[in-house]
Structure 1
Amino acid sequence: MLEAPTTSEFPGFDQIDQALRRAEAGHDAAEAHGSLCGLLCGLGPGAEAAWLADALPESPGNLTVTEQATNLLKSLAANTRGALEDVQMTFQPLLPDDAEALMQRVDALAQWCQGFNHGLFVAARTSAAEDEIRSGNTAEIVSDFAEMAQVAVGPDEADAEGEAAYTELVEYVRVSVQLVYEELAAVRQREQAASRH
């Protein structure tokens, strides 16, 4: 049985992935977390609610499983927002741990990048972020993430060089998301001010 962690615990990839599968969500953990991060970057209030509605569409299935998944995803969302706002730059994309095969980790990173761009563009349609997303560093990062979403690794490429390249890509994603979050701070502040009126 899945238990929702407290907000001081960051749910792991396998825990989130299992919860999404059991709830028949249609997303894997990497893509769902990428989407959350894109929404958090581009939306102020309501990012988590919009993400939960997308990640866990209502279904007449097992309500206990859906409730458990919802609690786990709420914890993930709160922890992710906290990590993005942390001045110590503690944000990490939710990906399989290094014990998994490189092919699986690269595939998850590609899904994560695809999810991020999806979330960011959903945010742009519902906020004033479109101009900011299509210019400057953010536009370059979105383009890079679109390319990374197409990356695949064959079994013969799973060597030390492939591991090093993967580590560099994950670090690029980590830093880039924090940069986008900072660049879109003014958009989120405008959204927050508008939601108060």
Structure 2
Amino acid sequence: MSAIKMPTFLTVESALKDSGLAVTPAELHGLLVGMISGGLPLDDKTWKPLIFDYTNDGMGWPDSALQMGSAIFQCTVAELSTDNFALDMLIPDGTETLMNRADGLSEWVNHFISGLGLVELKLDKASESLKEALLDLEEIARLGIDEEDDLEEQENLFEQVIEHVRICVLTIHAELGQKVHNDASKAVH
């Protein structure tokens, strides 16, 4: 288990807003997970210029937001580096409405796909399972909640969609992501 704990959605949201950054916690986490799953080196430096370009016109972030981003990055690397491949998505939690959680998931998935693009994902050599996972994610990013339908049923479906997103992400990460070996301090692809 990592010594670094994932900050809460509200804590990250507050830090980003206070820093004047127009990125949500879901967008930031999706970008980072996408970049890591796409093969970004696992050191704590390579993600920063990519995020700065994408979220702040290439300008650096204030220290408080940068510390929050670093904590999210390190926690995500730790989660994806375990043998059981855990992944907790930084989206609004169960205290929020289903609509807000669905919007957060959509932001997360869209930015995960963007994160793959930031590390220049090449699909020509990708496996069929990776391509299928990516197509599923693209479709999920367009899903929405219909306020006219049974919200309890949609709540159950939403939980199933979250699990499917995790499986898709872990499929992509397993094929493209850098691996951390316990016997060495270097990341090997």
Common fold: TM-score over 0.5: yes
Structure 1 counterpart of 2:59:
58
Greater helix share, 1 or 2? 1
* CA apart distance, 1:47: 4.6
Mapped to 2, the partners of 1:172 and 1:142 lie a distance apart of 11
TM-score (norm 2): 0.82
Q: Is 1:36–1:47's contact at 8 Å kept on the other side of the alignment?
A: no
How far has the Cα of 1:50 moved from its partner?
Answer: 4.0
Q: Distance in 1 between matches of 2:46 and 2:3?
A: 17
Rounded Cα–Cα distance in structure 2 between residues aligned with 1:130 and 1:92: 26
How many residues align? The count is: 176
Query: Which residue of 2 is the match for residue 183 of structure 1?
Result: 175
- Which amino acid letter does the alignment assign opposite residue 24 of structure 2? D
Letter in 2 for 1:58: M
- The alpha-carbon distance between structure 1 residues 193 and 86, as it changes in their structure 2 partners (threshold 3 A), is closer
C-alpha distance in 2 between matches for 1:144 and 1:110 = 13
SS state of the match for residue 168, structure 1? helix
Q: Quick one: percent identity of the two aligned structures? A: 24
Give the equivalent residue in structure 2 for 1:49: 48
Alpha-carbon distance change, 50 to 86 in structure 1, aligned in 2, over 3 angstroms:
farther
3-state SS in 1 of match to 2:119: helix
Partner of 2:184: none
Equivalent residue, structure 1, for 2:159: 167
Contact kept, 8 Å, 1:30 with 1:112, in 2: the verdict is yes
Between the aligned partners of 1:51 and 1:29, the Cα distance in structure 2 is 16
Task: Name the stretch that deviates more: 160-169 or 11-20.
Answer: 11-20
CA, structure 1 residues 109+167, in 2 after alignment: closer, same or farther (shift >3 Å)? same
**What are the ranges of 5 or more consecutive residues in structure 1 without an aligned counterpart?**
1-5
Measured against aligned partners, the alpha-carbon deviations of 1:72-130 in whole angstroms (never above 9, x if no partner) come to 110000000110111122211111111110001011111111001101112126xxx44
Off by >6 Å, runs of 4+ in structure 1: none
Gaps of 5+ in 2: 180-186
Distance 1:95 1:89 in 2: 18
Tell me the TM-score normalised to structure 1 length. Answer: 0.79
Counterpart of 2:104 in structure 1 is 108
